[in-house]
């Protein structure tokens, strides 16, 4: 990136929006590639996102292919601009899909998605590589104009946490320290030329 391009990108923002509640997010079951629909409460949460999002102008709107992310985007009022990206899929949990951490730890006491092997799924290194690719794409999109740009990203808890970790420190492992509720708004941006988290896990009124 040239100096001018870096300066242009550094004036932009990436808004991260986690999808609304599903039955599995409510129960704590790991939901990677299973296409679980929003609950009625999740739809109400998604509709509550519309008001704060309507106050912003987005130059691009990206969404995971999962119906829970797409429906959240639709109910939040940004579906007309939505582009679906497979890179925004949730972490592939392999053999742990549909199971809670409490259940897994009955046989694997120290298990954690952040440091344990995930047979038939994605390793931390693989998720990090995917997220770094997304960060590079976002930076390129932000640099396409001399004026400030804003991008909305509708995705999933673990992947958005990984994405934020890669944004601020090129490390998926940093995501372990970033808790994220359903139907929340977070903003990635810059502090001068440094990539920074400007806002995290903000719940709009009516989203609780």
Cα of first residue to Cα of last residue in the chain, in angstroms, is 41
19 carries an active-site annotation: yes
Q: Note the pTM of the prediction, 2 decimals.
A: 0.93
Annotated catalytic residue within 19, 30, 89, 156: 19
- The CA angle 188-45-84, to the nearest 5 degrees, is 55
Domain span holding position 71: 3-202
CA dist list (Å): 144 to 5, 70, 86: 8, 25, 22
Is residue 105, in this structure, part of any structural domain at all?
yes
Identify the burial level of 87 via C-beta atoms within 10 angstroms of its C-beta, where 0-12 means exposed, 13-18 middle and 19 or more buried: middle
In a domain, 207, yes or no: no
Closest by CA position to 154, among listed 116, 183, 120: 183
| 155 token code pair | 């995705």
CATH number at residue 40: 3.40.50.1240
Q: Which residues are annotated as a binding site for substrate?
A: 31-32, 68
**pLDDT tens for residues 79-93?**
999 999 999 999 999
The predicted structure's pLDDT at residue 206:
60
Identify whether 208 is part of a domain: no
Q: How many domains is the chain built from?
A: 1
Determine contact, residues 17/184, Cβ cutoff 8 Å. Answer: yes
Concerning whether 89 is annotated as a catalytic residue, the answer is no
Of 90, 162, 91, residue with least CA distance to 121: 91
Average pLDDT score over residue span 48-73:
97
pLDDT of 164 above 90 = yes
Choosing from 13, 21, 71, 90, which is the catalytic residue?
Answer: 90
Query: Which pLDDT score, from 0 to 100, does residue 208 have?
Result: 61
Q: Which residues are annotated as a binding site?
A: 31-32, 68
């Amino acid at each position: 990136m040239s100096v001018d391009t870096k300066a242009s990108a550094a004036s932009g923002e990436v808004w991260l929006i986690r999808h609304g509640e599903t039955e599995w997010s409510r129960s704590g079951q790991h939901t990677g590639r299973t296409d679980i629909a929003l609950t009625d409460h999740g739809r109400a949460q998604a509709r509550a996102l519309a008001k704060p999002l309507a106050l912003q102008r987005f130059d691009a709107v990206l969404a995971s292919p999962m119906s829970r992310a797409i429906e959240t985007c639709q109910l939040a009022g940004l579906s007309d601009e939505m582009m679906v990206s497979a890179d925004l899929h949730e972490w592939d949990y392999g053999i742990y899909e549909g199971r809670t951490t409490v259940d897994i730890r009955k046989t694997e006491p120290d298990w954690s998605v952040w440091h344990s092997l995930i047979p038939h799924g994605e390793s931390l290194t693989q998720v990090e590589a995917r997220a770094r690719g997304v960060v590079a794409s976002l930076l390129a999109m932000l640099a396409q104009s001399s004026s400030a740009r804003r991008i909305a990203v509708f995705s999933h808890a673990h992947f958005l946490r990984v994405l934020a970790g890669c944004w601020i420190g090129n490390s998926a492992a940093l995501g372990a320290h970033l808790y994220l509720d359903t139907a929340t708004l977070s903003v990635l941006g810059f502090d001068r030329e440094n990539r920074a988290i400007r806002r995290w896990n903000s719940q709009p009124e009516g989203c609780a």
